[in-house]
Amino acid sequence: MMKQSLAIMKRELFYMWHDTSLRFILLIGPLLGLLFFAAIYSHQRIDQIPTAIVDLDQSSASRQVVTELKNTQDLQAAAYLDSYDELKALIQKGQVIVGIVIPAHYGQDVALHRQTQVAVMIDGTNMIYATNASSAVLTVTRTLGAEVGIQTLIAQGIQPIQAKEAYQSINFREEAWFNPTLNYAYFLVLAFALNMWQQYCMLASCMNVIGESGVRSWLQIRSSGLSLFKLFFSKSVVHLIIFMLIVLPVYFIAFKIFKLPLAVSWPVLLLFTFVFAVTLHSLGTFMSSISGNAVNASRFGMIIALPSFVISGFTWPLQAMPQWFQPIAWFFPQTWFFQGFNYLAFKNPGWLFMSHYFLILGVMAVIFYSASAMVIHWQTAARGARA
């Protein structure tokens, strides 16, 4: 039995290695993806957002606002304009993301302690840019508002120290946990690379059954008396070994060279990745068993693999998805993997919390493999009846 299994494994390795396109996709694709996304997010955070300033007041108070904006790392004063129309034209052309209009009589209103309004326009077509720009502008407005409030109290006869203490009596201290610098690279780079990895693995898995039953060698294998279990078990072992060998250099480069955060131990991370690889392979095997040909198998696999990363809730929170859709997302193994991976990489909530992620993925694998076995058995019996 062992000799037959080893012979099948060697045969499968031979076929996979001599399939040039598949070899390139599996071996090079995830690594190129990791390097590609690491280069894109190498700056780690968005700052120096192009900003245009329209100062309609030209007073000392308005120039103070301009100075505060220029001293903000997240904003870059790219243009000083004279009118609202000029600002609108620059935003329409994408030359600036933020536009700030200081109204006429701003300095006078501030001096007389009257309410005044500074207009802030943000290009909302790029949500990442818009969110960061909004946060940067909010920081500046808070600082300016505090300064004006303190000056108002001083004008009313209150001592400067007392005015400052009164206006800042409540201090809200913000502190980001698990990713203190809010680094985009930490959050997205490896996840995007793993998304490519799972897509390629799904593509290979979808050839597991149809790659045999769709060629003439299937008849030779059946006539040899080799059991279906031994055949597909041996093939699956080869696939899973290759899947793990592919992801190992991706993890090594990500955690050892790029120094991405890893809160959990390596054995736990690799075990979780292996369990997901088994589940992914079982799903691909099922898709392969119900497909009439290799083209349809690839199509079915890509239909699941391509949108699964978005559905997983990694880039867009599950809680923000429609209520009726949230349970559907949990039917995908990718949802359990990417959600669990996020916990392991950043938080390490412990085995008691993570155990149900392992369990659900394991149950899914059993279900998909069992369904595949039933389909293959039915198809084999149908062929035998026709013969």
Distance CA 189, CA 167 (A): 42
Tokens encoding 248: 């190992």
Give the C-alpha distances (Å, rounded to integers) separating 54 from 40, 63, 79, 132: 32, 11, 9, 21
Distance CA 176, CA 156 (A): 38
**The pLDDT value given to residue 255:** 94
What single string gives the DSSP state of each residue in 119-140? EEEE-TTSHHHHHHHHHHHHHH
**The pLDDT value given to residue 198:** 92
**The pLDDT value given to residue 252:** 94
E strand map for the chain: 49-55, 75-81, 98-102, 119-122
**The pLDDT value given to residue 176:** 73
Tens of pLDDT along the chain (387 residues) come to: 566 566 556 655 655 555 666 556 666 667 676 776 666 566 666 778 888 999 998 888 888 888 878 877 788 888 899 888 898 899 888 888 888 888 888 878 777 777 778 888 888 777 677 777 887 777 777 766 666 665 665 666 666 666 566 555 545 566 678 887 777 778 888 998 999 899 888 888 888 777 665 555 555 555 555 666 777 788 888 889 989 989 999 999 999 998 999 999 999 999 999 999 999 999 999 998 888 787 788 888 888 888 888 889 888 888 888 889 889 999 999 999 999 999 999 999 999 999 999 999 999 999 999 999 898 878 777 665 665
Distance CA 183, CA 44 (A): 5
Distance CA 361, CA 337 (A): 8
Identify the CA nearest to 279 among candidates 305, 318, 252. 305
**The pLDDT value given to residue 271:** 97
**The pLDDT value given to residue 265:** 95
**The pLDDT value given to residue 167:** 56
**The pLDDT value given to residue 338:** 94
**Would you call 47 helix, strand, or coil by DSSP?**
coil
Give the C-alpha distances (Å, rounded to integers) separating 341 from 138, 169, 234, 255, 270: 33, 41, 28, 14, 11
Identify the CA nearest to 377 among candidates 229, 238, 230. 229
Phi, psi for residue 17 in degrees, rounded to 5: -70, -35
Close Cβ partners of 179 (under 8 Å, ≥ 6 residues apart): 186, 187, 261, 346
Quote helix, strand, coil % in the chain, to nearest 5. Answer: 70, 5, 25
**The pLDDT value given to residue 146:** 60
Distance CA 119, CA 173 (A): 27
**The pLDDT value given to residue 128:** 73
Beta bridge mates, 101: 54, 119
**The pLDDT value given to residue 292:** 77
Tokens encoding 365: 């694998």
Q: Which domains does the chain have, with CATH numbers?
A: 2-41+183-386 (no CATH), 49-167 (3.40.1710.10)
**The pLDDT value given to residue 75:** 84
